[in-house]
């Protein structure tokens, strides 16, 4: 009958106060650990399973292209991942609910730790403490001497007489509780920084910028970026290791500062993180008449905001140029993969057409740095790679940095201890209460044993 009565009493307690059990469950270390394990599992899955890139979320064509490419690369498992919704874990509703529940659990546990810390400071020691019976004298004189001995060792003490029983409490500042509170506060700062980045932040992926081109960043920022040059950064052995881009930051029409951005060299300006994802292939084309005078070259298939250089993105991309003085249309096709030819890659297939003619009057492959002539006009092509930049505005970056610092400081809780003890005696009985494993309890038992 007792289990039935226990269940009935538990049900009645839940009906009377449903908040307290829920609070205790969410504020427990077990709940925090379980939620962290779920978060770690979700992040592991997002690292192992291909995720929808940020630039494809708002672009239907880019999303469909990514789906087709990934399906071909991953095989039959891709259909299963897509069916159960594992292709966008980090931006999913489930991830948001998990982070919200984790934040709530950590916040409730932090409140409990703060209340415990406040109680310790006031001398309200945690109860129940592990008790053990002691043998030794316990009277007013012994309690006073022990009180003086503990105070000399830096303990805060309190000696009271409760209904004929002398109670001596001793404690120090609870460093373990304080450091645990610090770690929980750091975790909350980290989650708050992530929330700020998700709600107020923005990002631009694969943002193209050519040398000599200046583009506004947008998103309400008064900043513009200008490409100055692409140069080879020397490695540790002095040889060129990677190509980096030198940028000039403008604000309201004045030059602000110069930045150097590379694959392993991020830069930051006004909380905007700038990284170089890659360098895109591009060429500049000049046409000269027989006297060496430059002729106008018009880009027919390139947006005006891409500058004067002819940009390419993928293997097989085509661009069209028109030379009015020669009534000539040039078609440039970019190839970084050309199995049937032995020339050094990349190569550009150059075809020239007269107006009204379907057959080219010129057809040849050239490298990015080359020259040729058609009908007495000389053409000079030079490689002019452009930077593909990733821009991220992270308003919560410093909040996250503070959170990480607090969490690192809170790691001291693994070695710190909350030291406290309560000795109660009277009527021939003497009991010691102390946290399990606290050396203060052993020291007091030894002191009392030597006082007999």
Of residues 325 and 3, more confidently modeled: 325
Residue 14 has pLDDT above 70, yes or no: no
| Residue pair 118/178 in contact by the 8 Å Cβ criterion | no
Query: Per-residue pLDDT for 206 more than 90?
Result: no
E strands of 270-356, at which residues? 272-280, 282-288, 294-295, 298-299, 310-311, 318-323, 328-335, 347-354
**393-429: per-residue pLDDT in tens?**
989 888 999 999 999 999 988 888 887 777 777 655 6
CA dihedral 186, 192, 198, 201 (to 10 degrees): -90
Domain boundaries, the chain: 13-95, 123-174+418-450, 202-281+388-398, 282-383
Residue-averaged pLDDT of the chain: 84
Residue 277 has pLDDT above 70, yes or no: yes
Alpha-carbon distance values, 144 to 48, 127, 138 (Å)? 65, 24, 10
Give residue 7's pLDDT: 56
Tokens 């200046």 belong to residue: 214
Between 128 and 94, name the one with better pLDDT.
94
Instruction: Give the integer Cα–Cα distance in Å for 45 and 291.
Output: 65
Q: Write the burial class of residue 307 (CB in 10 Å: 0-12 exposed, 13-18 middle, 19+ buried).
A: buried
For the chain, how big is the Rg over CA atoms in Å? 36
Distance, in Å, from the CA atom of 11 to the CA atom of 6, rounded to the nearest integer, reads 9
Residue 115 has pLDDT above 50, yes or no: yes
Average the pLDDT over 347-356 and give the result. Answer: 90
Task: Compute the Cα dihedral for 118, 443, 431, 129 and give only its sign.
Answer: positive
Can you give the pLDDT at residue 426? 63
Does the CA dihedral 29-31-34-38 come out positive or negative? Answer: negative
Residue 441: is it exposed, middle or buried by C-beta count within 10 angstroms (0-12/13-18/19+)? buried
**Angle of the 439-450 helix axis to the 140-152 helix axis, nearest 10:** 130
pLDDT band, residue 56 (cuts 50/70/90)? confident
**Per-residue confidence (pLDDT) for residue 391, from 0 to 100:** 92
The whole-number pLDDT of residue 358 equals: 84
Name the pLDDT band for 148 (thresholds 50, 70, 90).
Answer: confident
Q: Is the pLDDT of residue 339 over 60?
A: yes
Best CA proximity match to 28, nearest among 99, 127, 112, 116: 112
pLDDT computed for residue 123 by the predictor: 75
| Element spanning 312, H or E | none
| Least confident range of 99-108, 111-120, 156-165 | 156-165
Q: Which structure tokens are listed for 335?
A: 């190839």
Highest average pLDDT, of 50-59, 94-103, 431-440, comes from 94-103
Tokens of 318: 């085509």
pLDDT of 9 > 80? The answer is no
Q: What residues form DSSP beta bridges with 224?
A: 216, 250
For the ranges 21-30, 150-159, 322-331, the one whose mean pLDDT is highest? 322-331
pTM of the model: 0.69
Query: Torsion angle of alpha carbons 436, 437, 443, 446, nearest 10°?
Result: 80
Return the pLDDT at 174.
86
CB 285 within 8 A of CB 297: yes
CA–CA dist 105, 367 (Å, integer): 61
Residues counted in the chain: 452
Q: Which residue has the higher pLDDT, 53 or 274?
A: 274
Stretch 177-206: mean pLDDT: 90
Here the tokens at position 171 are 């404690």
More confident residue, 299 or 420: 299
pLDDT of 1 over the 50 cut: no
Lowest mean pLDDT among 64-78, 159-173, 297-311, 356-370: 297-311
SS (H, E, C) 177-203: HHHHHHHHHHHHHHHHHHHHHHHHCEE
Residue carrying the six token digits 């009935």: 8
Minimum mean pLDDT range among 126-135, 153-162, 388-397: 126-135
Residues 193 and 397: beta-carbon distance below 8 Å: yes
Question: For tokens 């990480």, what's the residue?
Answer: 404
Tokens of 65: 């292209």
Spatial separation of the C-alpha atoms in residues 386 and 81, rounded to whole Å: 36
Q: Exposure string (b/e) for 188-220, b if CB count within 10 Å is 16 or more?
A: bbbbbbbbbbeeebbbbeebbbbbebebebeee
């Amino acid at each position: 009958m007792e289990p039935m009565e226990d269940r009935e009493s538990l049900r009645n307690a839940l009906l009377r106060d449903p908040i307290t059990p829920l609070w205790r469950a969410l504020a427990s270390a077990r709940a925090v650990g379980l939620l962290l394990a779920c978060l770690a599992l979700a992040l592991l899955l997002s690292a192992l399973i291909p995720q929808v890139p940020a630039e494809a979320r708002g672009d239907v064509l880019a999303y469909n292209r990514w789906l087709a490419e990934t399906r071909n690369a991953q095989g039959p498992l891709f259909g299963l991942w897509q069916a159960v919704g594992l292709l966008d874990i980090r931006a999913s509703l489930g991830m948001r609910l998990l982070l919200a529940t984790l934040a709530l659990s950590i916040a409730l546990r932090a409140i409990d730790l703060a209340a415990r810390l406040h109680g310790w400071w006031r001398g309200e020691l945690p109860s129940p403490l592990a008790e053990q019976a002691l043998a030794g004298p316990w009277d007013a004189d012994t309690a006073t001497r022990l009180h003086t001995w503990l105070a000399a060792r830096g303990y805060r003490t309190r000696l009271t007489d409760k209904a004929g029983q002398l109670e001596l409490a001793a404690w120090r500042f609870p460093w373990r509780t304080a450091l645990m509170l610090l770690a929980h506060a750091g975790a909350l700062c980290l989650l708050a920084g992530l929330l700020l980045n998700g709600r107020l932040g923005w990002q631009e992926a694969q943002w193209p910028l050519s040398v000599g081109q200046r583009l506004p960043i947008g998103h309400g920022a008064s900043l513009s970026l200008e490409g100055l040059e692409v140069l080879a950064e020397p490695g540790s052995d002095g040889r060129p290791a990677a190509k980096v881009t030198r940028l000039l930051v403008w604000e309201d029409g004045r030059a602000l500062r110069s930045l150097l951005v590379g694959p392993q060299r991020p830069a930051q300006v006004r909380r905007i993180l700038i990284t170089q994802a890659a360098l895109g292939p591009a060429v500049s084309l000049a046409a000269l008449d027989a006297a060496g005078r430059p002729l106008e070259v018009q880009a027919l298939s390139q947006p005006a905001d891409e500058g004067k250089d002819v940009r390419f993105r993928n293997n097989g991309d085509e661009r069209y140029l028109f030379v009015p003085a020669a009534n000539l249309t040039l078609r440039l096709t970019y190839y970084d993969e050309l199995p049937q030819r032995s020339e050094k890659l990349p190569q550009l297939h150059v075809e020239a057409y007269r107006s009204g003619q379907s057959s080219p009057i010129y057809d040849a492959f050239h490298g990015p740095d080359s020259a040729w002539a058609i009908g007495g006009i000389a053409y000079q092509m030079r490689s002019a790679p452009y930077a593909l930049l990733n821009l991220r505005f992270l308003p919560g970056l410093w909040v996250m940095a503070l959170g990480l610092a607090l969490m690192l400081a809170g790691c001291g809780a693994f070695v710190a201890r909350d030291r406290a003890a309560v000795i109660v005696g009277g009527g021939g009985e003497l009991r010691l209460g102390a946290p399990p494993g606290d050396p203060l309890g052993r020291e007091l038992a030894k002191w009392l044993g030597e006082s007999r």
